Amino acid sequence: MHRLVRENDNAPERVKKIIDTLVLDFVHSPNSNARNGGLIGLAASAIALGSPAVAAYLDVIVPPILSCFSDQDSRVRYYALESGYNVCKVAKGEILRFFNDVFDALCKLAVDPETSVKNGAELLDRLIKDIVCELSATYVSQYQPSQSPHNNEPAVYAPNASPSNKAFSLPRFIPLLKKRIGTMNSFTRQYLVAWIAVLDSIPELELLSYLSEFLDGLIQFLSDKSEDVRVATGVLLADFLQEIKQAGSQEEQKKVGSEDTGQGVVVQHARIIEILIPHLSSPEEEIQRIALQWLWEFIPIAKKIIIQFTPKLIAAILPCLAHSISAIRACATEVNQKLQKLVLEAHPSGPEPVASLSDPFTAALPTPHVRRTRYSDVGHTIITSDSNAPFDYQATVATLRLQFLNDHEETRVASLKWLLMLHRKVPNKILAADDGTFPVLLKTLSDPSEEVVRHDIQLLAQISSHSSPEFFRNFMIDLLSLFSTDRLLETRGSLIIRRLCMNLDPERIYCTIADILEKDKDLEFASVMVQNLNVILITSPELAGLRKRLRNVDNKDDQRLFITLYKSWCHNAVAAFSLCLLAQVYEHSANMLQVFADLEMTVSMLIQIDKLVQLLESPAFTYLRLQLLEPEKYPYLFKCLYGILLLLPQSSAFSTLRNRLSSVSSLGFLHVIPKGMSNLSLDSSRRQAASKAEGSSASKKEETIKFHELLQHFKAVQAEHERHRNQAIQTISRASVLKTRRPRYGHASTSNGSSTGSSSKESERVQIHSAFSLAKARARRELGD
């Protein structure tokens, strides 16, 4: 064949007829030996023609050889590879017209089970790589590209790229690569990684511009079962990332006025980020790590693009903060911090969108039970939307709200930190009257994590500090509603109130709550709430300033504060009494004890008095204990303390208070001595001066504080509570009677046991009631004196 073709090289028609005969009669023959002979004949013909003459016949030589790459006979496949190798060696740059077909055929042979075929494919593959590296960027063919199906697909052009007349076309190759990149076979993946690395090593091709077309599939290779594939893919991705960073540096140099050395590679950052985001939630740890690493590198080089993806990035990154692998957690934390810094430093854009009631993010969230009101305004103007804004505050806040449903504490805390930062940056853009954020924040107060609750309270306080008085009052109303319905008061009440007072004005909080509770119809809840507020007021370091103001109610503002609290504190007798002790209005406190004598002394009330005695020993009442050294100046203080002592049954609190009073008994006796016996103790002048000073102080307070009216208010509120308790007891009694009239048959033994237990409980109740009655009678006698 070699001699025959050589003899007719000047007769193209005869040469074509020889090649056609080889193809039709031999390569397409059903006999495998004939096919082998035909393949050898085609190779010999190509060698005989030589370069560049063979270029004119490649359209009839190459396709038959490639078709035999998939022959069922392994020997035919081997001879096809050998023939193809010889043809490519002669054709050199012209074979690039058939690159897609050769590449696809070799891709399929990468998984061939026959060793000889694999070796032959690797040999041909190396030859093709050498040709591509040497000629792909420069070789121009005088013939049209192959008309195979692989070349008929629409070409994919990178930004700023234009059609080229070169034999090798990367835009025409990329669609084929996208098809093959989805393979699950390790050998094929190894083949693809090797070819991508080769193409990337040719600077003129600018493969980086097409990275977004196949990056998704390439990242999936990191989960391959073959370690060789994983390692090769990791190295290739690292090279791509380094090139992206270098491209970013070149872009920065252009911006600062450095000399432009060329057009440069156009990196499609936005499309790459879109590809990376789903991989942040991948179950494969290595894929997650690589995606986070890429984003970490992208933030400084693509700031304007990254900031547009903030909502999607937050949804993907925050769950990684609680990942079980420490390396991924650390990387996610760094990316999150970088992203926060980027958003914080970005200049606020124009008007931002406002969420509506139909917000799908809001619909997916639980909302607290609100029994009194809804938010009507947040104290500022809500801005209309702008779809062209680079940073979407609406979507970001909605995404952060969704993170409250995450099972991991770290994610929920991070979402609250984001909201804190955003509200601090643009308080008028992330909270609308109907966007559902505030109710969700209220509900989050029930979160099992104390760290989440702390940040939630901080955010609520921050939002309230920028709100109108009406909004703040509604916030307090709904907070009380949450306390009353969610058992939150028992578990987190003190923490919530204290943290709010730390971040907001304590007086504003207490006065608003007091005003709401004064009119509250739920008397039992009001009493419990006042009791808790009172303990917080006396013991909490955050309220030291408020205690200081109440301790000396001489000016009008402090008196107004005392009156506001007092009217609400009347829901709880012991709390109102302790408030008066705190404000040093001892005469009014003594008058309140007279009312105590007429009240039913319940177990709850005695327990509260017991706690009050313990509070009197706390640092908050140090001044009060020191005033016991001046009985002539504070006679009503002694009367108050002795009154408490006589109300208490014999208990540890009784002993504590008695010992305290006994320690100053020699002085404490003086204030009850008749005036006519003054010559036995203090001289008249000292006692008169003290009385005059106390009377002057009392008269000043009386100018604004009308204690008589306050006492009447206290009596009225306590009478209402008494009626409420009696109605509750009657209701329980009627229910008990109905229950005994309709016994459940078949439970006789259980009933007997129940009656025995009830008898013992009734006996105990009678004993306690007797002790309380004696204590109350004794208090009436002593206070009457």
Considering only CA atoms, which of 214, 238, 441, 404 is closest in space to residue 315? 404
Q: What is the enclosing helix (H) or strand (E) of 720?
A: helix 707-741
DSSP characters for 668-697? HTGGGS-GGGGGGSS-HHHHHHHHHHHHHH
In whole angstroms, give the CA distance from residue 503 to residue 165.
70
In whole angstroms, give the CA distance from residue 105 to residue 739.
88
**pLDDT (mean) for 133-162:** 78
- Label residue 125 by pLDDT band (50, 70, 90): very high
pLDDT, the chain, mean:
83
pLDDT score of 727: 85
Q: Is 177's pLDDT higher than 50?
A: yes
pLDDT score of 666: 55
% pLDDT > 70, the chain: 79
With H, G, I as helix, E, B as strand and everything else as coil, classify residue 237.
helix
* Choice between 5 and 181, residue whose per-residue pLDDT is larger: 181
Q: Is 312's pLDDT higher than 90?
A: yes
Tokens for 423, please give them: 């509200």
Sequence-separated (6 or more) residues with CB below 8 Å from residue 150: 100, 101, 104, 176
In whole angstroms, give the CA distance from residue 739 to residue 731.
12
How far, in whole angstroms, is CA 548 from its chain's centroid?
Answer: 39
Q: What per-residue string of b and e applies to 720-729 under the rule 16 or more CB within 10 Å gives b? A: ebeeeeeeee
How far, in whole angstroms, is CA 613 from its chain's centroid?
Answer: 44
pLDDT score of 663: 82
Q: How many residues does the chain have?
A: 785
Most confident of 48-52, 246-250, 252-256: 48-52
In whole angstroms, give the CA distance from residue 773 to residue 600.
9
pLDDT score of 757: 44
**pLDDT (mean) for 547-551:** 93
- Label residue 394 by pLDDT band (50, 70, 90): confident
Are 653 and 610 in contact by the 8 Å Cβ rule? The answer is: yes
Are 392 and 430 in contact by the 8 Å Cβ rule? The answer is: no
Are 362 and 398 in contact by the 8 Å Cβ rule? The answer is: yes
Considering only CA atoms, which of 20, 160, 166 is closest in space to residue 99? 166
Q: Is 585's pLDDT higher than 60?
A: yes
DSSP 8-state assignment for residue 742:
S
Sequence-separated (6 or more) residues with CB below 8 Å from residue 627: 633, 634, 637
Q: What is the enclosing helix (H) or strand (E) of 74?
A: helix 74-91
pLDDT score of 773: 53
- Label residue 737 by pLDDT band (50, 70, 90): low
Q: Is 771's pLDDT higher than 60?
A: no
| AA identity, residue 308 | Q
**pLDDT (mean) for 738-765:** 46
pLDDT score of 182: 94
pLDDT score of 264: 64
pTM of the shown model: 0.78
Considering only CA atoms, which of 622, 620, 621, 608 is closest in space to residue 653? 608
- Label residue 674 by pLDDT band (50, 70, 90): very low
Q: What is the pLDDT of residues 593-602, one digit of tens each?
A: 999 888 888 8
Q: Give ∠ CA 214-215-216 in degrees, rounded to 5.
A: 95
CA distances from 657 to 536, 595, 616 (A): 22, 21, 9
Task: Map tokens 């109303």 to a residue.
Answer: 477
Task: Map tokens 């100046």 to a residue.
Answer: 633
Domains in the chain, please, with CATH? 1-168 (1.25.10.10), 347-485 (1.25.10), 573-740 (no CATH)
Considering only CA atoms, which of 235, 258, 243, 224 is closest in space to residue 301? 243
| AA identity, residue 200 | D
% pLDDT > 90, the chain: 59
pLDDT score of 258: 46
With H, G, I as helix, E, B as strand and everything else as coil, classify residue 140.
strand
pLDDT score of 670: 46
Tokens for 710, please give them: 């306050």
pLDDT score of 648: 87
Tokens for 222, please give them: 């990191």
Tokens for 389, please give them: 């804004």
Considering only CA atoms, which of 289, 291, 297 is closest in space to residue 267? 297
Neighbour tally for 763: CB within 10 Å: 10
Q: Is 240's pLDDT higher than 50?
A: yes
Q: Is 326's pLDDT higher than 50?
A: yes
- Label residue 20 by pLDDT band (50, 70, 90): very high
Q: Is 676's pLDDT higher than 50?
A: no
pLDDT score of 361: 37
**pLDDT (mean) for 651-672:** 74
- Label residue 150 by pLDDT band (50, 70, 90): low
Q: Is 198's pLDDT higher than 80?
A: yes
Neighbour tally for 741: CB within 10 Å: 7
Q: Is the C-alpha dihedral spanning 498, 503, 505, 511 positive or negative?
A: negative
Are 624 and 585 in contact by the 8 Å Cβ rule? The answer is: no
